[in-house]
Structure 1
Amino acid sequence: MLGAALASLSPARAGAGDCGDAAALVQQAYPKARRSADGTSFTLEPHTSITSTLPESEAPFGLVCKIWPAHVDLLLVAVPLIDRANGDHLHVGDIELLVVDRNTLRVRQRLLQPGLMTDDMIVIEKVEFDTGRYALAPDVSAFGLRIEMAHFSLTAPFTETDLRLYALADDALRLVLDGLVVAGHGGDSDGSCAGYFHSSQVSLAISPASHHGYHDITAVERSNIDNPSPDQNGECQSHPGKPVKRTYRMRYDGSRYPVPAALKVMGL
């Protein structure tokens, strides 16, 4: 519905539950993949790994699947392709997105996204689909992929959730929105109380206006700050600032929706 909010900032976790027989999915999509002895992972030449099932504690490097409500005959699958990893929270890898026929497991569309599973000090915590009603045009639906990153530090904590939108049109899957920050938290602290912290959340809505055949997308950012400090008794007290609301309009340029500079993912 035009003008309605599209995406919850905390969408339902789209994990391995919708994958069904995850191993069969992998074998259908990657016929040359070699299955491990315990049956939980696959290897592609020369040394790329695909994990079909993982304990929850080891997420997000397993398959992520979600039935697409806009096309209930289709299953959305995100396949982390990990090139290498070590114990220092360094992973190097890509994500391949698959649109799969639920009845036959045949891959209808696929799109490789290089580097999306690469992390370092800021680690990937969660990967999930966002299947809000992204009706970009009368015959074009889109879905989102959210990646949550975090840096765990007492003095400089950081979390960020990034959104990318993919449109299915003319029998092809395309990236149309690349790296929009929809939630974030960070700051600096002395480790006990005093510091400065900021947080933000972004909600999206489809606008009736359109450019190049696709509806505009409105992004509303709500941000807050806090400057905690100890009181005269040594108790830590919060000192929040006035909440700030900013509205942005993203217009399709014929290829993508340019992301406002203030909402861009780091490094883009």
Structure 2
Amino acid sequence: MTVKSALIGCVVLAGWLMAGQVFAACTPPAVAGEEMSACKDWPAYPGLTISASTRFEPGTAKALAAHDLDLSVLQDGQPSPIASFHQRAAFVMDGARLQELTLDTARYKLTPELRAFGVRARLTNGSRLNPMEEVQLSLYVKEGEKLRPALRKLVVYEYGGEWDDNCAGERFEISRTVDMAKTTSHGFADLIVKTQETGTTNVVEGDACEDKTTVHTPVLTTLHYDGKTYVLPPGFKGL
């Protein structure tokens, strides 16, 4: 067994009381509402593995339930992370719950020398009459021994609506894709976000339930880096 296999094959959680002190947590995601974890090789940097894990903190009289987030980058042959990140209450459970956590290693080339990786979080509310689902994308870059968020909680998928549990109701679906632009802001590539929205209305007509679907024209939005993070327009940031 290689050193990397040994790391991925077990969960080594140490130093929860110290920000950023998290080792590999490459086990299948737990059920919603509890700890989750994911890991993935980073194709852009052979020999490196990305690990993500959450820790669930139950709500109290003064605070909502939340998930802390820990990220780390591991290198073959080294037992400790070479870079890490910790965020307390990264996902606050305000009417929704964290359902899934995945890693995204698409070609997010922010500068000629720097590539980011993504963390996608799916949140849902579990309601039949007023359903809500949201997928957020955050991008992180490695700077020395630290990982830093360059993009926070861009909503790349959203679904919602309401209905009367019989027929009448409305629902919408929004999906977004992210591409690298040729232009830059503060040395980082601008991001071109394509938004596609679909709306559906259901009404009772006689004995039938009829639906009308409207597919809106795709909209392109350019996100600019302000020196610290990519600035999101109103409505683009997740919960």
Using the size of structure 2 for normalisation, the TM-score is 0.85
Aligned partner of 1:264 in structure 2 is: 237
The Cα offsets for residues 84-109 of structure 1, whole Å up to 9 and x where unpaired, read as 379xxx74330111111133232111
CA separation of 1:94 and 1:185: change in aligned 2, threshold 3 A: same
Structure 1: gaps spanning 5 or more residues: 1-16, 34-43
Q: How well do the aligned residues superpose, as a CA RMSD in angstroms?
A: 2.7
Partner of 2:9: 21
CA pair 93-151 structure 1, distance change in 2 beyond 3 A? closer
The count of corresponding residues between Structure 1 and Structure 2 is: 227
Task: Give per-residue Cα distances to partners, 1:18-65, cap 9 Å, x unaligned.
Answer: 962223x43xxx2x57xxxxxxxxxx69xxxx9958776625723211
Among 199, 206, 220, the alignment partner of 2:180 is 206
**8 Å CA contact retained: 1:82, 1:117:** no
Q: Is the 8 Å Cα contact of residues 51 and 61 (structure 1) preserved in structure 2?
A: no
Where does the alignment leave 5 or more consecutive residues of structure 2 unmatched? none
Q: Give the CA deviation at 1:243.
A: 2.2
Give the equivalent residue in structure 2 for 1:138: 112
Judging by fraction of residues, say which structure has more helix.
1
| Distance (whole Å) between structure 1 residues aligned to residue 147 and residue 131 of structure 2 | 36
Residue in 2 aligned with 1:82? 56
- Contact preservation (8 Å) 2:192, 2:222: yes
2:157 equivalent to 1:183: yes
2:43 is matched with which residue: 50, 63, 69?
69
Task: Say which structure, 1 or 2, has more relative contact order (CA 8 Å, 6+ apart).
Answer: 1
8 Å CA contact 2:182, 2:190 repeated in 1: yes
1:105 aligns with 2:79: yes
Percent identity between the aligned chains?
24
Residue among 192, 196, 204 paired with 1:222: 196
Correspondence 1:149 to 2:123: yes
CA apart distance, 1:114: 1.8
* Amino acid paired to 2:224: R
Rate the CA distance shift 1:102–1:230 in 2: closer, same or farther, 3 A.
Answer: farther
